Every structure is written in structure tokens, then in C-alpha cells.
Amino acid sequence: MLFKLSLKNIKKSIKDYTIYFFTLILAVAIFYIFNAMETQTVMLEVSNSTKDIIKLMNTMLSGVSVFVSFILGFLIIYASQFLMKRRKKEFGIYMTLGMSKGKISRILLLETILIGTVSLVIGLVIGTILSQGMSIVVANMFEADMTKFSFVFSTKALGKTILYFCIMYFCVMIFNTISVSKCKLIDLITANKKSETIKMKNPILCTIVFILSVVMLGYAYYNVTVLNTTLTSNQLLTDIVLGVIGTFFLFWSLSGFVLKLVMKRKKLYHKNLNMFILRQVNSKINTTVFSMTTISLMLFLTICILSSALSLKNSMTNNLKELTPVDILLSKKANLTSSDQYYGIPYTEEQIADSKTPITDTLELLDFDWKNNLTDMINVNIYATNDITMKDTFGTEYGAIKKEYPMLLYDSAEPIVKVSEYNKVAKQYGNPTYELKEDEYMIIADFDSMVQIRNRVLKKGTTLTLNGKTYQPKYPECKPGFIEISANHINTGIILIPDQTLPEEMKEETYLIANYTGKTEDEKEEIEAQLASEEVSAFEDKTTLSASTKISIYEASIGLGAIVTFIGIYLGIIFLISSAAILALKELSESSDNKERYMMLRRLGVDEKMIRKTLFIQIAIFFLFPLIVAIIHSIFGIMFASTILETFGNEKLLSSIIMTAIFLIFIYGGYFIITYLCSRSMISEKE
Amino acid sequence: MEPILKIEHVEKYYGNKLNLTKAVDGISFSVNKGEFVAIMGASGSGKTTLLNCISTIDKVTSGHIYVGGVDITKLKGNQLNRFRREELGFIFQDFNLLDTLTAYENIALALTIQGVKANEIEARVHEFAKKLNVEQVLQKYPYQMSGGQKQRVASIRAMITNPKLVLADEPTGALDSKSAKMLLENFEYMNQSLEATILMVTHDAFTASYANRVIFIKDGKLFNELVKGNDSRKEFFDKIIDVVTILGGEVNDVI
């Protein structure tokens, strides 16, 4: 009997449940897709290092899934509580007929189970289908072979999805039971007759608050875009707080402000149902300032996350070409003594002995045929002395810099390279070369924030003293360049000095820069495989030799790009669903009031066509309002991110923005259309 | 005089063949231009159903209703909507003002949907508000107004488009006696000075006594008709009470 009642209830209120259903199905499908990626990536044929990265990605994705499940849990509970509110009168009737609260709770329980099961099944089916497409994206991302396509179904993801959603539904049941047990009969029966009080805001106050919010936002925008490079983290925090408060004030005041503005324009105000639309939107936004702010900020986050994540991968690969001009860079500690330590562990006898020999000797020891496999070899010696630490290079500026950046390692010795050795490297890399007079030094760096600090010091003409000789800076700023190959600009500073004989103890490290002799990718990979073989790893405690290679840097950065992209898309979509669903529910929550209002309009003789148009405009404004604010925020947010990360190419950014727009249109637009259709059928004359 | 409203053998049945309810059972009458007619009857007598048929909110089962010579039972879709917004004005028991709009906007809305020019709308709303003494509440919301004020605003909304016929459904139903009296005096004024034709449905004899003519309905059929003629309102009220007594007490169905 109860089961029948539940079933009938759902059938009857299918309109109310559409948004709820839609959200659940989407949530289940997305949760499944991102958790099924593990199974898909296992099947890919990729190198070992990529496998490690994929493993890391999957661990991170499942970590993010926990966070996502919390967001979805809150969303589902929120949605179910909203539906509960709409059905208060129905419960009131049950209770007047003598049904106990326990029984009502049981009806709700059955309903939750029913809806939960159906949405899980549909969501999983959709998820399975879509995840096939996802596997193509994954393979593409990791540049793996996708010659043989196979249907992948992840039982692990299935189990996980069912478990997580069952926990969420269980929470919904608890919340439903609590809210039923707290109900009073009188409230249930009079639930529909809420007294309507419209909070009217003082128009002058509205205008003042509006101007204030625009000023606040403008100031924050200015800070993050124009002043971005000199921004400290405290200022940035202030800007974020300003942005949040500014957004809140904007929503608090804008509708009142716009209303006043339109009322001044008599023709517009008196046209068709404009005044009705205005008042509807005004009253709606006035009562949902807080949610509108949250939704708008969530959309802002979504847009920034999606567009940044999508373009990050592309731009990361772009940097690589410039920053890895050679195939391999081998490095080894030089002149180790028994008192030297590596993170507290003393070096072994063999390592100390090995540190006194050139890198090529070590390679022979490793049984690596460097004569045949390596070409274009360049040796670089890195010197360091405790006479020249970072503190020393800052000279008189040290005190001021330390106050601003207390975390820098001021006591670490700075790397010193002879200019002629650097020039050899620079030539090979295609970077500019330099000449230094006998008493001159210069600094090569490309890590932005460090460059700024060093430029301050160099402008002052800070001198360095090495072996009793004083050196003047040749240039008032750092020059770009690097020795170590990497995925990003991370050279914090190398001091170049004129060629001279430096004491052997000062030698800290030796580098061997080379290309592989192999012509094709496969040949190169084969050479690299010899270096990365197990026999070589067995030598770990006999030498301090380490290598960074073009291939491994490429793989790592592609992998990192993929991780950022997938997590970005995952979170972005979840945020998007959450904000759109809350917005849709807010709109539908007033549908019973709206029904009366539109009925009234019909009695006044308004066309059905005009009623539909009015409803459409009303809902469109309600949906567009937070979106437009979010888009404006995002323009500045993305500008800020792009200058901070310095990795975006404009062309790539455009394509990622287009992708973001597609996501937005599909999900946000989907919610909008469903909301409109639901509202339309709710206000239609037929019961 | 030419009748504004002519009702011919209107029938309205509810239910199916096995269980037929004749809410309106062959009623015919007509209302002339400038008349103030009240329809009286107990609850369930079919008076509201009849009004709904005239206002095109409901459809007749058979018979014809002519407003200004047009048979409105033949109208469809947008013709109906146009008929409603151009020829009719409505006043309801529960005011039916839009709660999100101010009084001014509630009234103006009736004109904006007809596409009247902005300047004219403003002038007309203020003119009517002055006449019916609600100027001071024009910028207020319905929840800030008294019942009487709301109903006067609603009646301005019904009148402002110069409709051929104003339909009022129990307009005093939700008002206290003082507000009701004030509203009815406004109706009299609208009828006499603004030449509005008013058709009002009520079960209250006092309310009905403000009309020129009272039509009594019982069980879906015409029962009686009283014309005020040169009687004073008090005399007319006594006559109405007499008929109501015959009809069966004030509104009860003891007979």
C-alpha cells in the first residue's frame, strides 16, 4: 500500500522531480566516468614513467572524488529538502487522515530508494557510454596508441559509485526523517498560505551600495590585472575578499538599482509586461542575494578552472621546446668529502671516490657506451663557496628583502660558472653569449620573482668579493638564460665570472650536456632505456650521477598537464552542476506563487504567447544575471592567471575558452531549458 | 436601448451521463449599457458558474452569450484573450492583485498589455486614482494596503481600460462593512458618472441593494427579478430581503 502511494506520488509530482532526477543522473554519470578512468588507463600502452604519472593521477582523482562526493551530498540533500517543502500540504493531509509520522517517513524512504535506484541505473548506463568517449580523450592526452578500441567497463568504479551514492541517499533519508518528525500539522496545512512581505530597499541606499560595489570590484580588478606582478599574497587575499564582498553588494543592490533606472525610462517601463518582469526578477533576486552571490562565485571558479586547466596542458608542452634544447643533462657532485651529507645521510666511500672523476668515467663504470651514444658533449663546472651566499649577493638590500621574503635560503652558496663555459652551453642552446671584463660579474636567471629581487640588487651595483678580488655587476639587471633543462623557467640565478683559475675545492658539481646519436625517436628512446635500466639503478649508492632527459621531462609535463586538465574538468563540471541545480530549484520553488500570478495575467487577457515570453525572459534573466557577473569576474581572473603562470598562448586560450563555453552551454543551458519547461507546465491552465 | 450583454438559453453541465449536474440550466437575460445589475443566489445556485461563462474563463455547454453583438461562445484562443483584455474588466472577491507589483503598476498593467502609450497610462492612472481616492497608496504594495484599498485598486484596474462590461465576483466578500460600503459607493459612482456597465454576483442583500436591478437565481434557473426604479436604496433593500426570504432565508437552503 505504502509502495503504491510512493509510486503514485512520484508519478504525480514528476514535474517537481525533473530537476532532481536530472541532477542525480548527471552526478552519477560524471562520478562514474572519472572513477572509471583508472581501468581505462591501465589498458594504455605507455612508457614506465608515464605509468607512474597515470598512477598518481588516478590517486589524485579518487582523492578529489571524496571532495566531490561531499559537494554532491550537500546538493542532493538541499534538493530533497526543497522537494519536501513543496509537499508539506500533502503530508498535512496524510496526517489529518491519521497517518503517523513514522509512516510518512517510510513513504519518503521508499520514494528515496525508488528514485535513487532509477537514477543510479540510468546514470550508470549514461556514464558507461560516455566513458568510452573519455578513453579516447585519455589516450590522446597521454599520446598513447588508440589503434585497438575496446569497450571498457569498470566494476571498481561501479562499486564505488554505488557505495558513495548509497551513503548520500542514506543521508537524504536521515534528513527527510528529521524534517518530518519536526513538522507541526498546522504548519503543514497552512504551508501554502505564507504571508507575502516584499522587502523593499531604499533606492538611494541601493544606488550608494551599487556604486560602492562597482568601486570595490573595479579596485580589485585593477589590482589583479595591472598591478599583478608586484602583488604580495596579502594584497591578493584582500582583493579576493573585496571581490567576494563586492559581488554580494552588487547582487544586494543591482536589481533595485536597475528597477529605478528602468522606471525612469517611462516608455520601456510601460511596454508590454516589462514592469511585471522587472518586479518578478527584483523580488526574486532580493530574496536570494546570498545564493546568487554563491552561485556567481561558483560559476566564476568553474570558468577559471575549466579554461585554465584546458589551456595549461597545451602551453606546458609549448615551453618544452625552448627549455629542453638538448637530449640529456648528466650531473654529478664534485669533490665530496666524508663530512658532506645528503639530507643528513653521509655519502658512501664509493660515491666520494666517484666524485673525483669525470662523468664519462662514471658512465663507463655503468657500462654505458657514451662514445657511440652521445654527441655534442659539453662539460660545465659549477663552483660554489660559502664566501658567496645568497645573502652576500643581496649586499645592502639583504635586510629589506629578508623582511619581505623570509622563506628564501639566504645561507646557501650561489652557483658560480665561468663565462666561457656558459657561452659554450648558450651556443648549443641557441641563447645569447656574453663577454666579461676582469672585474665584472653578471647573473643569469629566468625565474620571474627571483629575477625581480635580483634586479633590485643589481641596480644598486652590489659588488661581490671572491678570493680577495672585488667584482662589479656588468648589467643593472639579470640576463635570461639557463643551464639545466626543465619543463619551466626555474633558473633562480647563476653567477657568471670572468675566466680564471679557481681552486679545485670550490668545484661543487659537474654537468655533462649532450645529445643522443640516435636519429629517430625510437633510437633515442633505446639509448635512454640503457641509462634507465635496472643494472644502472643498482649503482645508486656508488655514484651521485643523475640525469634529466628531454624524453622524461616531456612525459612528466604531459602527465602533469593531464592531471591538471582532468581534475580541472572534474571539479569544474561538478561546480557547474551544483550552481545550475541550486538556481533551478530556487526558480521552481516559487512556481506555486507564479502560477497564481500568471493566472491573474491570463484573466486580464494576456496572450498565451506573451505569457510564455514573459516567463522565458524572467527565467533567462534569473539565470543570466549570475552568469554575466561570473563572466566579467572571469575575464579578469583569467588575465591574472595568465600573467602569473606566464604559460598561456593566446591562441590556445581561445580554444580552451570555446571548450569552456561548450560545457557551460550544455550543462547550464540544459538546466535553464528544463527549468523553463517545468515552470511553463506548472503555470499552464491545465491541472 | 441596445443591450451590452445578451444571454440566450445558456446551459452549463458538469459530470458525465450517469451523474449530471446542471449548474446553469437555461438562463436568458440581457444587460443594457450603463446598467448596474446584481445576480443573487445561494451558494451552489450557479451564479458564479454563469459569471465564469460570461467572462470566458469557462465554456458553456449550450446557448449563446453576446457581448456588444459578438457571440463570445464562438471565440477561440487569442480572440478570447483579446476580448477579455479589451471588452471586459474583472473584480474578484480576493482582489487578485499581483503581490510583487505596486498599486500603480497593478493598474497600469491592464493598459500596458493593450499597448497604450506611456504618457497616457500615467495620466489615466492618476486621474482614476484621484476619483476613487486611492492616490496616496499608488506606490504601496498590496500587503501594505487595507482590504478596502486593495479592492478599490482592483476596481480601478477593471475600469481603466473602458471595458464594455465590468464583472464583479463577490466584491465585498472579503471586506468589513465599512470598506464594503465605501466600495459600493465607488461602484455607484463608476456606474453613474463614468457610465460603466457593471454585472455583479453576490449573496449579500446589502451589496445587491446598490444595483439598479437584481436577478435571482436558484438551482441554475432564473427565479425572480427586481428593478429599483425610483425606490430609495432602503426600500429596494427591503424588497430584496423579501425575495431572499421566499428564496429561503438569507442564503440557506432550508426549503
User: Which pLDDT band, with edges at 50, 70 and 90, does B255 fall under?
Assistant: very low
pLDDT score, position A191: 58
Minimal Cβ distance to A606: which of B113, B117, B141 = B113
CB contact under 8 A, B143 and A195: yes
Dihedral over Cα of A286, A291, A293, A299: its sign: negative
| Confidence check: pLDDT of A174 > 60 | yes
pLDDT score, position A177: 86
Cα–Cα distance between A378 and A383 in angstroms, integer? 16
Which A positions 602-621 lie with beta carbon below 8 A of chain B? Answer: 602-610
pLDDT score, position B250: 46
pLDDT score, position A600: 84
Closest-CA distance, B10 to chain A, in angstroms, reads 22
Closest CA to A393 of A436, A449, A442: A442
Dihedral over Cα of A235, A236, A241, A245: its sign: positive
Cα end-to-end span (Å), chain B: 38
> Which is higher by pLDDT, A407 or A536?
A407
> Which is higher by pLDDT, B186 or A125?
A125
Question: Rounded to 5 degrees, what are φ and ψ at B217?
Answer: -120, 140
CB contact under 8 A, B84 and A603: yes
Residue B108 touches partner A, C-beta closer than 8 Å: yes
Question: Which of A274, A604, A610 would you mutate first to test chain B, the one with the most B CBs within 10 A?
Answer: A604
Closest-CA distance, B228 to chain A, in angstroms, reads 31
Residue A182 touches partner B, C-beta closer than 8 Å: no
Closest CA to A546 of A355, A346, A345, A384: A355
- From start to end of B69-112, where are the E strands? 70-71, 88-91
| AA letter at A9 | N
Write the DSSP string, A43-68: TS---HHHHHHHHHHHHHHHHHHHHH
pLDDT score, position A649: 47
- DSSP conformation class of A395: G
Q: Which chain B residue has the Cα nearest residue A265?
A: B118
| AA letter at A418 | K
Cα–Cα distance between A403 and A503 in angstroms, integer? 35
Chain B partners within 8 Å of A283 (Cβ): 100
pLDDT score, position A671: 92
A322-328: average pLDDT: 86
Chain B partners within 8 Å of A605 (Cβ): 81-86, 88, 113
> Cell numbers at residue B76, please?
477561440
A180-195: average pLDDT: 68
| Confidence check: pLDDT of A630 > 90 | yes
CB contact under 8 A, B113 and A197: no
Q: What is the ipTM of this complex?
A: 0.84
Question: Which of A267, A269, A275 would you mutate first to test chain B, the one with the most B CBs within 10 A?
Answer: A275
Q: How many CB pairs under 8 A join A and B?
A: 88
Chain B partners within 8 Å of A195 (Cβ): 143
Provide the pairing of β-strand B165-169 with B198-202.
parallel
| Confidence check: pLDDT of A648 > 50 | no
A293-298: average pLDDT: 90
| Confidence check: pLDDT of A173 > 80 | yes
Fold that domain B3-248 belongs to in CATH: Rossmann fold (3.40.50)
Give domain limits for chain A.
1-193, 196-310+566-687, 367-538
pLDDT score, position A376: 87
Cα–Cα distance between A571 and A64 in angstroms, integer? 8
CB contact under 8 A, A600 and B88: no
What's the whole-number average pLDDT of chain B? 86
Share of chain A above pLDDT 90, in %: 15
pTM: 0.78
Chain A partners within 8 Å of B111 (Cβ): 270
Residue A279 touches partner B, C-beta closer than 8 Å: yes
Each residue's pLDDT tens digit, B47-104: 888 888 888 888 888 999 998 888 888 888 788 888 888 888 888 888 888 888 889 9
CB contact under 8 A, B85 and A198: no
B207-224: average pLDDT: 89
Closest-CA distance, A621 to chain B, in angstroms, reads 17
B176-196: average pLDDT: 86
Cα–Cα distance between A406 and A396 in angstroms, integer? 16
Question: Rounded to 5 degrees, what are φ and ψ at A468?
Answer: 80, 0
Share of chain A above pLDDT 70, in %: 91
Minimal Cβ distance to A279: which of B55, B100, B112 = B100
Chain B partners within 8 Å of A601 (Cβ): 98, 113
Closest-CA distance, B2 to chain A, in angstroms, reads 25
| Confidence check: pLDDT of A204 > 90 | no
User: Which pLDDT band, with edges at 50, 70 and 90, does A315 fall under?
Assistant: low
A627-652: average pLDDT: 74
Which A positions 200-229 lie with beta carbon below 8 A of chain B? Answer: 200
Residue A194 touches partner B, C-beta closer than 8 Å: no
The helix, strand and coil proportions of chain A, stated in percent and rounded to the nearest 5, come to 70, 10, 25
Among the listed ranges A190-194, A499-503, A505-509, B15-19, which one has the minimum average pLDDT value?
A190-194
Residue B88 touches partner A, C-beta closer than 8 Å: yes
Chain A partners within 8 Å of B82 (Cβ): 605
- Please name the residues in contact with B186: beta carbons below 8 A apart, sequence gap of 6 or more: B132, B152, B155
| Confidence check: pLDDT of A92 > 90 | no
User: Which pLDDT band, with edges at 50, 70 and 90, does A194 fall under?
Assistant: low
CB contact under 8 A, A606 and B81: yes
Residue B117 touches partner A, C-beta closer than 8 Å: yes
CB contact under 8 A, A608 and B81: yes
A36-65: average pLDDT: 79
Tell me the three state secondary structure of residue B43.
coil
Residue A597 touches partner B, C-beta closer than 8 Å: yes
Which B positions 144-173 lie with beta carbon below 8 A of chain A? Answer: 157
CB contact under 8 A, A269 and B118: yes
Cβ distance A433 to A479 under 8 Å?
no
| Confidence check: pLDDT of A249 > 70 | yes
Residue B59 touches partner A, C-beta closer than 8 Å: no
CB contact under 8 A, A597 and B98: yes
> Which is higher by pLDDT, A459 or B252?
A459
Closest CA to A26 of A61, A58, A87, A68: A68
pLDDT score, position B172: 86
User: Which pLDDT band, with edges at 50, 70 and 90, does A246 fall under?
Assistant: very high
CB contact under 8 A, B100 and A608: no
| Confidence check: pLDDT of A31 > 60 | yes
Question: Which of A193, A270, A274, A286 would you mutate first to test chain B, the one with the most B CBs within 10 A?
Answer: A270
CB contact under 8 A, B78 and A609: yes
Q: Which chain A residue has the Cα nearest residue B109?
A: A273
| Confidence check: pLDDT of A687 > 60 | no
Residue B126 touches partner A, C-beta closer than 8 Å: no
Among the listed ranges A31-45, A419-433, B36-50, B124-138, which one has the minimum average pLDDT value?
A31-45
Residue A282 touches partner B, C-beta closer than 8 Å: yes
Share of chain B above pLDDT 90, in %: 12
Chain A partners within 8 Å of B77 (Cβ): 608
What's the whole-number average pLDDT of chain A? 83
Chain B partners within 8 Å of A269 (Cβ): 118
Tell me the three state secondary structure of residue A232.
coil
Question: Rounded to 5 degrees, what are φ and ψ at A101?
Answer: -60, -35
> Which is higher by pLDDT, A588 or A648?
A588
User: Which pLDDT band, with edges at 50, 70 and 90, does A668 fall under?
Assistant: very high
Question: Which of B92, B100, B160 would you mutate first to test chain A, the one with the most A CBs within 10 A?
Answer: B100
Q: Which chain B residue has the Cα nearest residue A597?
A: B98
Buried residues in A50-84 as b, exposed as e (16+ CB within 10 A): bbebbeebbeebbebbeebbebbbebbbbbbebbb
- DSSP conformation class of A35: H
CB contact under 8 A, B88 and A605: yes
User: Which pLDDT band, with edges at 50, 70 and 90, does A490 fall under?
Assistant: confident
A286-297: average pLDDT: 87
| Confidence check: pLDDT of B164 > 80 | yes
